[in-house]
Amino acid sequence: LGNGPCNPAGGFLTLYQGSAAQAADYRIIKNLHITHVVNATTNCPDAFPNILSYLRLRLSDDAQQDLVEALPLASRFINTVLKTEPAGRVLVHCSMGRSRSSALTLAFLMEHRHWSLLHALRWLKERRACTAPNVNFLRQLLTYEEQLFGSRLTSLDDIRR
């Protein structure tokens, strides 16, 4: 799963990001003790619907895809799983594990860790070098940041440096 798990809160490693191939690999699911999956692909089926709980978001990785409903939905799903006792383990995936899954993970970090988009993006890239939300998703995340914090804390120029 790239450079490893996302662990913004310290403690147990409970939030992972990856590709559809990784999400369909039972050894990975078992070894990481994954309990919940956010599937952000348009056409990859949920690999283990009888054993795992899924949030299915049919998202396209393109300039037309609107994330206005998907960002808070995924963020709430992840937060609920991580806050339950015992805490579940979430894998957020799209086809390649780069754009859609990154956008959803960033929304979670912004909303539930209260991080600016720039801080969340830098943190995630340190742990997952292939993190690369498309520019449409970045623009929507900037709008989401403004909704969450009441003002825009990050600019597109900050991100592109």
68-105: pLDDT as tens digits = 999 999 999 999 999 988 889 999 999 999 999 999 99
Which pair of structure tokens corresponds to residue 38?
């956010």
Cβ-Cβ contacts under 8 Å for 63 (sequence gap 6 or more): 134, 135, 136
**111 belongs to a structural domain:** yes
**5 belongs to a structural domain:** no
Residue among 94, 53, 90, 55 nearest 72 (CA): 55
134-154: pLDDT as tens digits = 999 999 999 999 999 999 999
Confidence of residue 11 (pLDDT cuts 50, 70, 90): very low
CATH number of the domain encompassing residue 43: 3.90.190.10
132 burial via Cβ count (<10 Å: 0-12, 13-18, 19+)? middle
- Helix 135-149 vs helix 100-113: crossing angle, to nearest 10: 10
**143 belongs to a structural domain:** yes
Catalytic pick among 6, 44, 94, 130: 94
**2 belongs to a structural domain:** no
Supply the pTM of this predicted model: 0.91
Write out the residue range of the structural domain in which residue 26 sits: 15-160
Domain count of the chain?
A: 1
Active site residue 94: yes
